[in-house]
Amino acid sequence: MLKNSTKSYGWATICMHWLQAVTILFMFGLGLYMVDLTYYDPWYRGSLELHKSIGIMLMVLWAAMLLWRFANTNPKPEPGPAWEQLAAKAMHWVLYLTIGSLLISGYLISTADGRSIAVFDLFQVPALPALIENQETVVGEIHEILAWSLIGLVILHFAAAMKHHFLNKDNVLRRMIRPLGQSR
Ligand code: HEM
Domain extent listing, the chain: 11-177
Round the CA-based radius of gyration of the chain to a whole number and report it: 19
Using a 6 Å cutoff on CB, does residue 88 contact ligand 1?
yes
168 CB-near residues (< 8 Å, 6+ apart): 78, 80
Q: What is the pTM of this model?
A: 0.94
What is the reported pLDDT for 46? 95
Whether residue 184 is predicted with pLDDT greater than 60 in this model: the reply is no
Using a 6 Å cutoff on CB, does residue 16 contact ligand 1?
no
Average pLDDT, the chain: 96
Segments in 3-42 forming alpha helices (H): 11-35
Q: State the average pLDDT over residues 156-173.
A: 97
Summarised one tens digit per residue, pLDDT across range 108-157 is: 999 999 999 999 999 999 999 999 999 999 999 999 999 999 999 999 99
Closest residue (by CA) to atom 11 of ligand 1? 92
Gap from CA of 173 to ligand 1 centroid (Å): 9
**Domain 11-177: top CATH class:** mainly alpha
Question: Helix 135-162 crosses helix 11-35 at what angle (to 10 degrees)?
Answer: 130
Whether residue 183 is predicted with pLDDT greater than 60 in this model: the reply is no
